[in-house]
Amino acid sequence: MKPEFISSSALNSDLINEYMAALQTEINLTDARKDLNICTLRKFSQFHKNKLFMNITRDEIISFLNSYRETDTSDPLHKWIGTYNIVRLILMR
């Protein structure tokens, strides 16, 4: 397959796989943490319609993070904040 025909989804998948291999070497992730990282990065890619990671802007990252926010009515205990912080940490790495 010629490089110009490789979809951005496939490129993002390859990048996620390389990242997970490097992360596993550095910090020896549990299976649950691996799954969480992969799932979060896959959702991030899908949220932006599989746009190449290197072309995603700061505003697009913030837009994705804001999708985890909930109103006081739907989440009076603010449990979304923990999820938001975990997702933010995964994206910062």
pLDDT one-digit tens code per residue, 12-55: 999 999 999 999 999 988 999 999 999 999 999 999 999 999 99
pLDDT at site 4: 52
- State how far the Cα of 89 lies from the Cα of 26, in Å rounded to an integer: 16
Please, which pLDDT band fits residue 84 given cuts at 50, 70 and 90? very high
What is the value of pTM for the model shown?
0.83
Pair of tokens at residue 51: 């746009």
Count of H helices and E strands in the chain? 4, 0
Q: pLDDT value at position 62?
A: 97
Q: What percent of the chain has pLDDT over 70?
A: 94
